[in-house]
Every structure is written in C-alpha cells, then in structure tokens.
Structure 1
C-alpha cells in the first residue's frame, strides 16, 4: 500500500469519525451561526521561525478545515473576521502582502472544486469594501456574484471591517432613508419617521445573517476586538488557547458542547 492509498484511508476514517460525532451532537440543539476571530497567525510565524506571511497561509488551511467541519455539522451561517480596518495601520509591506494573499484566496473560492461550491455556500464580503485595493475589491465582487445562486449555507467574510464602522454606516444609511421619506412627505413629521432599532439593524452590513450563537476566538483572548459588538449580546464566547493555525476539530466540538450546555441560560437572557 503506497502513501497515497494510506492517506485516503485516513481521510475516509476521519470523515466517518466526524459523522458519528456530529450525529451525537445533533441529538441536542445545534448552533445556527458560528463566528471566528482568527487570532494568532503572526505569532505562529514567529514561534515556528517562518517568513512573514507564512502564518497566514497556514491560517487559511485551518479556515478551510473549520468551514468543512461547520458545514458537515449543519451550521448554516459562518462568519470570519479576516481583516480589521485597524490592520491598515500595519507596515505598507505587510498590508500589501496580505492584500495579495487575500486576492489569491478569494479567486480560489470561485473555482468549481472549491469548498463553497461543494457545499452550496453563498459568500458575502462584509465591511467598508472601498478601503480595499482595487484588485481585492473586484475579486470579492466576482466571488459574491459567482456564488449568488448558492443557497444551502452562507459564509460572511468580514474584511476592512470594524463593528463601530458598521454601526456608523448603518446610522448614516438610516438617517438618509428617513430624510428622503420626510422630503417626500413635504417635511411633515410622522412618528414612524423616527429612527428605531429595527432601522439600524436593517442597514447593518451583517443583516445578511442572524446574530451568532457562538464566537470562537483563538489565542486564549476574550476580547471581541471591535467584532460583531451589536450582534453578540447573547452568544457564547469560546476562547481556546491555541493559535489560529493550530485550531482543530476538537475545538469546534468543545464549543458546540459548551453552547448546548449553556443554551437554557442563553435563551433566558434573550427573553429577559
């Protein structure tokens, strides 16, 4: 038996084990939306004496594994924090390197054999996209167009994103919408023209998905770092100590078990 055959056997065995574990987990309520803060790529590079950018390539491999596990489990919505607006403050060389890597990986999403097409995933790029370099922005638009007819699951990639920018954008959009309506009504004020929470939520970048049930942040950090602040008031935060490139199947299982164990409490908080 050659290496290729052994690799395939291990792959099939791993798939069978996951299917059995997911079958057990599905006896209880499963999360509908899991979000990831992919923390630790640069530290992983330093710890393993890798050249700049290599940690992010390992991190991309971990992301593909997490997406596969989530979609196998039946999680419909997955959101990842790929690039914060704050990250633009890094050195121009690092920012450009990350933009090049993102363009490459985004282009890979629309290939026929990509994971999004295997699982029928619709892709959204969430954030202030005009801040991106033109090649990355165009690649993101192509990926969204190419997956627009996929309907089995949703992947939201937060890129050039912060929650404060999202809230500001939503308030501005809501104000503009009300201003136009008031203008149509000849300046007469009506109670329904006052901005309320539903207006803000409707104009959020993340209006394409329900609020997350679980946010997983690697590196043992418990900060949200300006990610989904509006949407995360009643979700579970799970913070494994591993760096993002080291995250594995067992961490996802642990997060889901924690969610199921605390679901009654989380539901009571939502109703309070």
Structure 2
C-alpha cells in the first residue's frame, strides 16, 4: 500500500531530474528464464511476462520522448536452447509481430517497426509475419522500434563487410572512399539506425554481450546495469537509467565549457 503511494512520487522526482533525453536507447532484456524459475514456473511464463514488460517499456519510452528503441530479443547464441523453448519463443514472436498490424498505438504514434539480425536463421512463417509488420509501418517516421532477432554483433559487421564488398564489385562503391559512414549505411537493411546513447541491461549481469558493437561501443554510449529481471523492470528503472545518461551529458557540457 505504501509502495503504491510512494512510487508515483518517486517517478515524478526522477523525471524532473532528467534534463537530457537519449535519442536512442538499446535494451538487453535479460532474466526471463530466471524470473520464471524463481517462481517455480515454466520458462514460457517468463518469456510471456517479459513480452508484456516490453510493451509497457515501449509506452514509457514513447511518452518520455525516446525516438529510437532497440530491443535485444534473441541472439544467435540463443539457438542453442532446446527445441521446445525455441518453438514457444518463435510462436510468441510471431504473435507479437502480428499484433503490430492492428495496434492502434503503433499507428497513432507513427512508429516504424523493423527487425535487425540474420533473417536466414528464422523460420519462414515468422519471417513472413515480420515482413508484414515492417511493410505496414514503413512510412512512419516519428518513432522507431528495432527488434534484434537472430542477432550477433560480430555477425552484423561481417554482413556489412560482405555488402560493402558486393558494392565494390558492382562499381557502386569506391574502395578509397570507404569510411565509418559507409559501414553504418550497410549495417542493417531498412531505416538507418543512429548511434546508441544508452544501453540498459537487466538481470544483474554486467556485460553488453556483443550488442550493437559499432553503434554502441564505437560511440561510447552510456551503460546502465540493474538487478531486476526483465519481467520485473519498472518505469522507475528506466528513469534511473536515463538519469545516468543525463549525468554523463551534464559532465560533458561542463567539460566542453572549460575547453
């Protein structure tokens, strides 16, 4: 009872503290399975609760003015999990991408949805649903949600290198003109993704797990690690993460003024 009264006040206090809103927030959604195990429940329960948290998170981010959100939903390493869990996960992904087609929040807020990752690794029926969601939102440009599926950071850079080499072979790219902007233009198909301002990792694990190495590590993004498992993540946790980014920006401004 007391907590339900205090939390809204603390949320407002945190939001008042944050003066700099990150343009691009990337999230490593960790802890779904541990959340379920701690409650003596099946893994599928944790993944579904995590998916519910994702929807809440996207609402919070949109309300706070975060224009780009990238969600580390399924890595290339996750394919090592047992077949039953993979089948359940792919069904859940398909359900959520299908829901995008009729989600009034997506269309009201003009949110573009796209997948980043190795499409060749995903089942055809899931890919068809992802393609439909991307096509339905491809004209939107107010907010962007990037879903990292079958994603690996090193794999991403390998694919970009192959794409650039193909451009060189066709004569479309001058090798002498290749620069960081060229690499960024070939990292993902679809809408360009700006550098990451803030990475959030849940689940009390202190590593960035090969996530967006070019756009995050290469641009020295702020990082916020927190203890809650992803299904237990709250708006307060997001605001605390944004406060870390805000503090970094304030320090940068002071440093720039002294220079």
TM-score of the aligned structures, taking structure 2 as reference length: 0.87
**In structure 1, which of residues 60, 67, 90 is the aligned counterpart of residue 51 of structure 2?**
60
- RCO greater where, 1 or 2, for CA within 8 Å and sep 6 or more? 2
Matched residue count: 247
Distance 1:147 1:193, change over 3 A: same
Q: List structure 1 runs of 4+ shifted beyond 6 angstroms.
A: none
1:118 CA displacement: 3.6
Does the CA contact (< 8 Å) of 1:22 and 1:73 recur in 2? no
Question: 1:259 and 2:251 equivalent?
Answer: no
Other structure's SS at 1:208 match: coil
Partners of 1:24 and 1:148 in 2: how far apart? 34
Aligned to 1:24: 16
Question: 1:231 and 2:215 equivalent?
Answer: yes
Partners of 1:25 and 1:147 in 2: how far apart? 34
Q: CA RMSD in A?
A: 2.5
Matches within 5 A, 1:156-167: 156-167=146-157
1:266 CA displacement: 5.6
Question: 1:116 and 2:106 equivalent?
Answer: yes
1:98 CA displacement: 0.7
Distance 1:143 1:266, change over 3 A: farther
Matches within 5 A, 1:158-237: 158-181=148-171, 193=176, 195-205=178-188, 208-233=192-217, 234-237=220-223
1:219 CA displacement: 0.9
Aligned to 1:241: 227
**In structure 2, which of residues 116, 123, 129 is the aligned counterpart of residue 133 of structure 1?**
123
1:193 CA displacement: 3.9
Other structure's SS at 1:205 match: coil
Other structure's SS at 2:171 match: helix
Matches within 5 A, 1:24-43: 24-25=16-17, 28-43=19-34
Aligned to 1:152: 142
**Greater C-alpha Rg:** 1
Partners of 1:209 and 1:158 in 2: how far apart? 12
